Structure 1
Amino acid sequence: MATRRLLSLFRGIRSAPPFPANRVIPSFLSSGSSDFGNNTRQNQNQWRLIAAILFSGQAAVFFMDENRIAYAQDDSSNKLLSENTQGQGGNQEAYVSGLQRVEDGAVVSNEHTIKWRIFTDTGRDLFSKGKLDEAEKAFESALKEARLGFGQRDPHVASSCNNLAELKRVRKQFEEAEPLYLEAISILEDSFGPDDIRVGAALHNLGQFYLAQHKLDEARSSYERALKIKGRILAYNNPDYASTVHHLGRVLYLQGKEKDAEALIKESISILEDNGLGESSTCIRRMTTLAQIMLKSNRPADAEMLQRKILHALELLKGWDSLETANAAEALALTLQSLGNLKESRELLEKCLEVRKKVLSEDHIQVASTMLHLARLELYDSKRVPLVNGKYSETSEDLIRAKELLDNYK
């Protein structure tokens, strides 16, 4: 399964030489097995937990997926991470205790490094609570203490640069964020070499930064380089690799390369499915994106198959009392309506309306939206009944129901 069907532009990547033997590789990557193509759950879990902390210290660096913020892993890894930590029990603290350990095995500990840890953890906590002003001050202080405690070109400084850059990106302070991203990458390249996994993670973040500004050429370049590094070290069926594949697909779509984009997004979904994450929220979001691409390219039949898959996954994951499930049902209903399957479309819209009325108030805009979709469907269906004296019958049940729905909306 490791040798997949990515586009020709990645054929050179797949045939690239393996990671140089003399490169410094974190022990968690070399322990147990050097075969990253075997896709064992243990290797994936080790990467998820350790990369999150080795790069920055206690989940300080943000890894981005879709359009959301996450600490150290996107949603596709939640299952892996939770299973790993549950299995380790108290051993998780052992990982945390080594956060200040540098590549040569020495431990750096002084007043400034202690302050760096405190400010980093404080900034992370404030960020998670949405207190961005206070979080920014904490991350700025963490960067200052990292420079004083570890040295100007230490990887801890790169971590702090990346944290502060990500916060500034979220706040759309792009001019201030870019030099921080670039400094982080430069330090990591000097410390570990240009092909290290930490460089790949930082390049992925830089791609996110450029994508947020619609700088598509720069974003594509960052993602492509990150993809080469991740594929070489993590293997081509790793969920982290799939995340970068997906983001590169989004960039290509915005550049008008629809076929290439679709192939990449499909590939990222397949990788998640191969890893048992086909019903994760991340995979569902990616399938939703792919369905939208299919609809925009006038392929409703293809979109229907994918939307049924999405709805089934959400039924299992969230149940029918979830607005996400209702949204998926409505999307499928509209596609079915365009394909002429009015009966099933109506059933789904009515179920969607029931859920939204239950979860939201009856005068909520989403309730009104569903009622309008139902009214439109009834009007469309009424035009298919036989004419009476050259006119549509105003007494047809469908037309009466449509009027009732519109009256209720008013």
Structure 2
Amino acid sequence: MYQIGMVLYLQGKEKDAEIIIKDSISMLEKSGEGESIVCIRRLRSLSQIYLKSHRLDDAEMVQRKILNIMEFSKGWKSLDTVIAAESLALTLQASSETKQSKELLERCLEVRRALLPGDHIQIGANLLHLARVAMLDFSQNKKLDVSRAKAELGIAKDYLHNSIRIVRQCLDTILKQKDKSKKTSVRGHTSKEAQAALVILLQSLSTLSSLELAKEELQEIQKGDINVKAKEALLQCIAAYNEFVVHKKSIADYPEIKNEYLSCFKRAQSLLGNKLDGEGIQKLNQTS
């Protein structure tokens, strides 16, 4: 039944697909399999359907259900529970529910730091998510509470610097290991890690650029060369991508990475204009 629902969804029959997928979940729950991996996968699929349709309230409800199941079955010392909580937190962030989103992400970070090495890529991603929530908090408070808005920018900046540091370490390690192992499975695993790390790095640098622009806007800087730090963050974003074009072209060609790079490049063009040339980027690559 579930497979039929997914086929209908792919055919664009979302309403019919939703009914069938929900029925398939209900059948599992009635047979005592509501906490099974199969049921959780179906719930996740349903939440993704809601998210793609921008039905955030429905997605949140399903994700809360998933988190409740994970908390009951595995507790908070499990990365599966952390991933479920993070998914809910990101949906709450999309709904501008910053308080709940922040609380969940902070708990996720605490658990990850307890279970994973300090330089693990998941910690870097978690820090990026927290920075984005802080930026959203800044946007909501910049006209109402300037002191709080400034504080949120400071918090976001700390998160971003730590995220950038962690993913750079991860990428450096991957580059050093690129010739060490010739086993296909290891190469594939390393490649996926590199893709994820580079996406997080580009996103963190792009967010840092937005933060610097927001900071200048808040301080109403009127003299001197404005946007210097914002430009620097975007140029570092471009340099990071170019570095991987040299060392790992197959990774740099990954669609999500290319999209992040192009976004950084266009924003840099808008700030730098004709000054954004190959020579300038090459010099930055040599010093980074």
TM-score by length of 2: 0.59
The structure 1 residue matched to 2:65, chosen from 117, 120, 141, is 141
The structure 1 residue matched to 2:259, chosen from 264, 281, 284, is 281
Q: Contact conserved, 1:211 with 1:251, CA < 8 A, in 2?
A: yes
* Structure 1: gaps spanning 5 or more residues: 1-109, 295-299, 307-410
Aligned pair 1:247/2:170, yes or no? no
The structure 1 residue matched to 2:167, chosen from 217, 221, 230, is 230
Q: CA deviation at 1:116?
A: 3.0
Q: 1:233-253, CA deviations, whole angstroms, 9 ceiling, x for partnerless residues? A: 222986232332222232223
Q: Contact conserved, 1:140 with 1:164, CA < 8 A, in 2?
A: yes
Q: 1:313-339, CA deviations, whole angstroms, 9 ceiling, x for partnerless residues? A: xxxxxxxxxxxxxxxxxxxxxxxxxxx
Other-structure match for 1:93: none
Give the Cα separation in 2 of the matches to 1:193 and 1:113: 29
Counterpart amino acid of residue 244 in structure 1? S
Other-structure match for 1:177: 101
Give the Cα separation in 2 of the matches to 1:253 and 1:233: 28
Q: CA deviation at 1:273?
A: 3.3
Other-structure match for 1:119: 43
The share of aligned pairs that are identical, in percent, is 13
More helix by share: 2
Q: Are residues 292 and 213 of structure 1, via their aligned partners in 2, closer, same or farther at CA, if it must alter by over 3 Å?
A: farther
Counterpart amino acid of residue 265 in structure 1? L
Q: Contact conserved, 2:66 with 2:84, CA < 8 A, in 1?
A: yes
Matches within 5 A, 1:34-183: 112-114=35-37, 115-183=39-107
Q: CA deviation at 1:284?
A: 2.5
Q: 1:187-241, CA deviations, whole angstroms, 9 ceiling, x for partnerless residues? A: 1111114332211111111111112222211111111111111111222986232
Give the Cα separation in 2 of the matches to 1:177 and 1:243: 19
Counterpart amino acid of residue 271 in structure 1? A
Q: 1:250-306, CA deviations, whole angstroms, 9 ceiling, x for partnerless residues? A: 222322372222122112112223425589433232122112223xxxxx5436x69
- Number of matched pairs: 191
Counterpart amino acid of residue 153 in structure 1? K
Q: Are residues 116 and 186 of structure 1, via their aligned partners in 2, closer, same or farther at CA, if it must alter by over 3 Å?
A: farther
Q: Contact conserved, 1:116 with 1:141, CA < 8 A, in 2?
A: no
Q: Contact conserved, 1:123 with 1:134, CA < 8 A, in 2?
A: yes
Q: Residue 235 of structure 1 aligns to a residue in which SS?
A: helix
Q: Are residues 194 and 282 of structure 1, via their aligned partners in 2, closer, same or farther at CA, if it must alter by over 3 Å?
A: closer
Q: CA deviation at 1:113?
A: 4.3
Matches within 5 A, 1:167-316: 167-214=91-138, 215-235=152-172, 239-240=198-199, 241-256=201-216, 258-274=227-243, 275=245, 280-294=258-272, 301-302=274-275
Q: Contact conserved, 2:63 with 2:84, CA < 8 A, in 1?
A: yes
Moved over 4 A (4+): 276-279
Q: Are residues 281 and 200 of structure 1, via their aligned partners in 2, closer, same or farther at CA, if it must alter by over 3 Å?
A: closer
Counterpart amino acid of residue 288 in structure 1? K
Q: Contact conserved, 2:202 with 2:260, CA < 8 A, in 1?
A: no
Q: Contact conserved, 1:113 with 1:145, CA < 8 A, in 2?
A: no
Counterpart amino acid of residue 285 in structure 1? S
Q: 1:320-360, CA deviations, whole angstroms, 9 ceiling, x for partnerless residues? A: xxxxxxxxxxxxxxxxxxxxxxxxxxxxxxxxxxxxxxxxx
Q: Contact conserved, 2:47 with 2:62, CA < 8 A, in 1?
A: yes
Cα RMSD of the aligned pairs, angstroms, is 2.6
Structure with the bigger RCO (C-alpha within 8 Å, sep 6+) is: 1
* Structure 2: gaps spanning 5 or more residues: 1-32, 139-151, 176-193, 217-225, 279-288
Give the Cα separation in 2 of the matches to 1:125 and 1:185: 27
Give the Cα separation in 2 of the matches to 1:242 and 1:204: 11
Matches within 5 A, 1:254-403: 254-256=214-216, 258-274=227-243, 275=245, 280-294=258-272, 301-302=274-275
Q: CA deviation at 1:168?
A: 0.7
TM-score by length of 1: 0.43
Give the Cα separation in 2 of the matches to 1:235 and 1:127: 34
Q: Which has the larger radius of gyration?
A: 1
